[in-house]
């Protein structure tokens, strides 16, 4: 396959509905049973639901809580700008049976702790090429973000490691954020991978992808 063919994008007759899974490292500066404040290098859209992973202060397994972003502001910490995101804490997602309280106080005078946010952002794939794709999303993802995209089509599950190359905003569609994405995997193409799906589309193999 020549380089021109590899880079040529092919529109899909019906957009493929998928999910982008992203894990972001955060610094938890405040935590109580109802809310948390976290510092992150990337913004979190207001209203987005996600998972907050909280380290166990006694060195055991981490705790995970459902959360929702309800506010964000830019703050200066350690001579660098960060996004301070306020999260409302929901029910349990997964906990150990250790009985240890995951809500040991975090915040002044205690030092912040390292945690993680797990996000699942819906995307609609509208064009594919051998090396990447173009998709739309209701939520922005920063350029350089790395994660896994999962697509379910024709009763099959396709996944791929990807990186966001460019994010653009457009008012022409209901999902306003358009993103150019590259595939990161380099092993031989398989029908189970999203890159394999893109390769079949690129060579003209019929592939119905329901919306």
CA distance 120 to 137: 11
Cβ atoms 68, 107 nearer than 8 A: no
Give Cα separations from 111 to 65, 126, 198, 201 (angstroms): 21, 45, 47, 52
Band of residue 10 on the pLDDT scale cut at 50, 70, 90? confident
Of the candidate ranges 22-26, 81-85, 138-142, 162-166, the one whose mean pLDDT is the lowest: 138-142
CATH code at 3-21+120-202: 2.40.10.220
Instruction: Fill in the DSSP letter of residue 184.
Output: -
Report the first-to-last Cα separation within the chain, whole angstroms: 29
Q: Tell me the pLDDT band of 208, cut-offs 50, 70 and 90.
A: very low
* Residue 196 confidence (pLDDT): 72
pLDDT in tens, 33-46: 899 999 998 888 88
Domain ranges across the chain: 3-21+120-202, 24-116
Please, what is the average pLDDT of the chain? 80
Q: Is the CATH number 2.40.30 carried by domain 24-116?
A: yes
pLDDT digits (tens, 9 = 90+) for 66-124: 999 999 999 988 888 999 999 999 865 544 333 334 445 555 446 788 999 999 999 99
């Amino acid at each position: 396959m020549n380089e021109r063919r590899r880079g040529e994008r092919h529109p899909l007759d019906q957009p493929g509905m998928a999910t982008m899974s992203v894990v972001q490292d955060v610094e938890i500066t405040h935590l109580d049973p109802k809310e948390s404040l976290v510092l992150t290098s990337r913004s979190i859209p207001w209203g987005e639901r996600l998972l907050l992973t909280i380290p166990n202060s006694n060195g055991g397994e981490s705790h995970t809580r459902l959360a929702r972003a309800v506010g964000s502001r830019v703050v200066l910490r350690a001579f660098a700008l960060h996004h301070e995101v306020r999260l409302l804490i929901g029910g349990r997602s997964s906990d150990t049976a250790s009985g240890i309280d995951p809500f040991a106080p975090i915040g002044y005078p205690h030092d912040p702790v390292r945690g993680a946010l797990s996000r699942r952002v819906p995307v609609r794939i509208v064009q594919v090429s051998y090396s990447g794709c173009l998709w739309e999303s209701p939520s922005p993802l920063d350029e350089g973000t790395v994660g896994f995209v999962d697509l379910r089509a024709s009763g099959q599950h396709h996944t791929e490691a990807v990186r966001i190359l460019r994010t653009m905003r457009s008012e022409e569609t209901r999902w306003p954020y358009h993103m150019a994405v590259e595939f990161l995997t380099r092993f031989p193409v398989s029908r189970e991978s999203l890159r394999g799906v893109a390769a079949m589309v690129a060579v003209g193999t019929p592939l119905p992808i329901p919306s």
